[in-house]
Amino acid sequence: MEIAQQPQQGTFRFAEFEFNAAKDELCLWQTGQIEKLEPQVSQLLAMLINNAQQVISKEHIQTALWPNTIVEQNSLYQLLTKLRKLLNDSSRNPKFIKTVPKKGYCFIAEVELIKDQPSVVKTIERTRKIHPLVAVLPILIVCFSVWAFFNSQEPTFEEPHYQLHDVSYELGLEFDVNVHREHNLMAYIKDIKTLTITDKQGTLLFNRTFAHRVGFPAWQHQGKLLAYWQFIEDRCELSVISPQGATSHKAKGIACESAKPPVWKSNDELILSVLQQGTLVPYLYRIGTEELIPMPLERPAQAEYKGAISAWDNRVYFLFNYIDHTSKLISLDGKTALSWPFPVWLVAYNPNNGAIISNDESQRHNLIATHRDGQSYPVYNTAQGLFTSVSIDKHGDIYTAIESWQVNIRDKDNLPIFSTSSIDYLPVSNSLGETAFMSRRSGVCEVYLHADNKVTRLSNHKGYEYVKFLEWRPDLSMLLSNRDMDLALYDRKSQILQFTTELNSTIKNTGWYDMQTVYAFDGKQVQLYDLQGRMLKSIDLNAQFAYYDNHNQRWLILQEHQLYSKAELSLDGEKLAKLSNEQTNLLHNIRIKNNALYWQSSWSKQDKIWRLDLANPNDISLVKQGNLIWHFDIDPYEQLTIARMEAIEGDIKRLSPEPTQKQ
């Protein structure tokens, strides 16, 4: 078996395709049709092409694509299936990718390397009669060129190439990076509870470890003060310090479930975006007077506020994601400053050239730059790890945290059971010992069924919709999930229906009312639907959650920390238990198993899993607590497993621009 070669640079041509690994693009060169590849699919194709006519072992490919990670057995198979589909290839009669039994895979097509060079027009001589229009074509071209010259604006920037440099590379997790625009100062979080201040070369200036989680340091634009959050119980506390760690200001705690990075509006004012009762709310905070003023930000219809950014002329803009998966930056007066045709969650302003650096369609693997006139270009893609934070100084140097993690499934004693390279994993087991689960790679949520020692993929999706809930039908013959504001139904083979709910807000929970009826709840309304997607009933209900207990045929309702049992939503209910702030803060992941209610909460940004015995509602116990517990599951024997996001490594990198000369 041959050893994999070092990758060559350029564009590769094979059969009817051209492949640009640097841009993750596959092109039908005869038609010009371009397909944007997922980063790992692109990396796999690049590896196969660079070793064409050679067999590469499965183990070598897995090590390259998922370094230091234990992956599911079908992870590589799924990537190969995607790639073969894009190439219109067959595993039985391959034109490109051949499976060599018990050895690996081989790219069998002839490959031509086309060196990258300035685009030129190739002239092909043809022996045919000249059409009369051809005679006047040069005149038309000259006229059009003159018109274009006087009616176009020359770009005021050059598309830079970026070189990646290490800034920090210690063991552990370093993230939430922020650099000062003007001064040689940088701050980031180390291993969740340590605030670290360095210069931009990584030399330590100050660090402090706290009892609770800290996050999102942010430097003033002109002064040298640093703001950051502490997450204490159900409060977010803002502190402001000097580069040497001296406290300049400490604000009163704000009731919150979480928060976004603070944004300096001036040396005395910040925009604070705080998650309260499931909604992100922007405030103006004035340090001198300690005023916290709600921002009069008009929320567009069917849009979710994601956070603020200080950009052009030091003005503050607000990021929204829309139900059609587009994104916009808007000003306080409602004017759109910039828009994207995909969900954007990571944004930073480049003061050097006025561009906004953001994620692209891949969500976490690539960074792009977009100017106010809509011009955009790729900045950098990472083959390993994910971009999680970005900050830029006046020189245009981009500082970013690149994290590598996996989701580990552990038992209640924290012993590992299973690992997945997915960046999210939602398991729901049934009484037969089968597990339905959602797995998310490259931003796409797919639903699977693990039964009889095999995994069946139930969905085949390409959109950005997020699957947050997964529920078995009482007879275990079907599954229900959400996809953002839609509900989706699955049998044991595939997805059979998807329909849009008529709710006005984000779904808080879903479930089965009976064999033929499902429901969805958004905090204000419970809506019931039949299995054809027709709404049967809508009931107004203001509550933290509404969950139907099929075994006891009753609704469980949580209102103002009081848990009620109701036979019908319109009737008065029986009080079951009074829950504490700690037990209800950021409540989610509701389960009923063996007549016990399980749920998850967050306290001081630490995840907690609770159990309430429905036969004895005063018996409430804390089952598990820890950091970065995304989901949990209960098996038929009522044994707890948890899906925890565990960072293998997180480092701070610098992307330095190297402008290219225009041709």
Of 363, 375, 376, 357, which Cα lies nearest the Cα of 325?
363
* Longest CA–CA separation in the chain, Å: 93
CATH number, residue 82: 1.10.10.10
CATH number, residue 531: 2.130.10.10
Query: Which pLDDT does position 157 carry in this prediction?
Result: 52
Would residue 27 count as lying in a domain?
yes
Residue located via tokens 């699955």: 490
CA atoms within 13 A on the CB side of 427: 26
Same-domain check for residues 393 and 425: no
User: From CA 611, how far away is CA 39, in angstroms rounded?
Assistant: 41
Q: Please give the C-alpha separations between residue 504 and each of 9, 486, 524, in angstroms, as whole numbers.
A: 50, 12, 9
Same-domain check for residues 286 and 343: yes
Within a 10 A sphere around the Cβ of 437, how many other Cβ atoms?
Answer: 23
Would residue 427 count as lying in a domain?
yes
User: From CA 595, how far away is CA 7, in angstroms rounded?
Assistant: 57
The length of the chain is 663
Same-domain check for residues 55 and 30: yes
The bridge status of strand 554-559 relative to strand 562-566 is antiparallel
Number of H helices, E strands in the chain: 5, 56
Domain boundary among 114, 137, 152: 114
Q: Please give the C-alpha separations between residue 257 and each of 172, 581, 631, in angstroms, as whole numbers.
A: 26, 11, 17
Q: Which domain holds residue 483?
A: 409-583+630-648
User: From CA 139, how far away is CA 145, in angstroms rounded?
Assistant: 10
Same-domain check for residues 254 and 165: yes
What is the sign of the dihedral through the CA atoms of 574, 579, 584 and 587?
A: negative
For residue 336, give the H/E element and its range.
strand 336-340
Residue located via tokens 């020692």: 453
Helix, strand, or coil (residue 185): coil
Same-domain check for residues 421 and 400: no
Would residue 325 count as lying in a domain?
yes
| CA 239 to chain centroid | 28
Four-CA torsion 381, 645, 467, 603, nearest 10 degrees: -120
Which one-letter amino acid corresponds to residue 213?
A: R
Would residue 576 count as lying in a domain?
yes
Q: Please give the C-alpha separations between residue 568 and each of 240, 430, 555, in angstroms, as whole numbers.
A: 51, 26, 7
Instruction: Give the tens place of pLDDT for each residue, 203-233.
Output: 999 999 999 999 999 999 999 999 999 999 9
Rg (CA), the chain: 27
Overall domain count for the chain: 3
Same-domain check for residues 431 and 533: yes
Same-domain check for residues 386 and 299: yes
Contacts with 327 (C-beta within 8 Å, 6 or more apart), sequence order: 306, 319, 320, 321, 339, 340, 342, 343, 344
Would residue 617 count as lying in a domain?
no
User: From CA 161, how far away is CA 291, in angstroms rounded?
Assistant: 44
User: From CA 65, how far away is CA 59, in angstroms rounded?
Assistant: 10
Within a 10 A sphere around the Cβ of 393, how many other Cβ atoms?
Answer: 22
Query: Which pLDDT does position 223 carry in this prediction?
Result: 94
Residue 581 sits at φ, ψ, to 5 deg, of: -60, -40
Contacts with 555 (C-beta within 8 Å, 6 or more apart), sequence order: 546, 547, 548, 549, 564, 565, 566, 567, 568, 569, 573
For residue 246, what are its two tokens?
Answer: 């001296």
Q: Are 634 and 591 in contact (CB under 8 A)?
A: yes
Domain boundary among 114, 149, 173: 114
Contacts with 13 (C-beta within 8 Å, 6 or more apart), sequence order: 19, 29, 111, 112, 114
Would residue 99 count as lying in a domain?
yes
Q: CA end-to-end span of the chain, whole Å?
A: 44
Which one-letter amino acid corresponds to residue 53?
A: Q
Domain boundary among 114, 132, 150: 114
Same-domain check for residues 380 and 520: no
Would residue 151 count as lying in a domain?
no
- Outline where 400-553 has alpha helix (H): none
Same-domain check for residues 576 and 489: yes
Same-domain check for residues 400 and 466: no
User: From CA 525, how far away is CA 485, in angstroms rounded?
Assistant: 13
Of 56, 57, 17, 54, which Cα lies nearest the Cα of 37?
17
Instruction: Give the tens place of pLDDT for each residue, 427-476.
Output: 999 999 899 999 886 568 899 999 888 889 999 887 788 899 999 999 99
Instruction: Give the tens place of pLDDT for each residue, 551-602.
Output: 999 999 999 999 999 999 988 899 999 999 999 999 999 999 999 999 999 9
Q: In what order do the strands lie in the sheet with 454-457?
A: 424-429, 435-441, 444-451, 454-457
Mark the ranges of the chain whose per-residue pLDDT is less than 50: 1-4, 6, 116-156, 661-663
Would residue 129 count as lying in a domain?
no
pTM: 0.70
Same-domain check for residues 541 and 400: no
Same-domain check for residues 108 and 59: yes
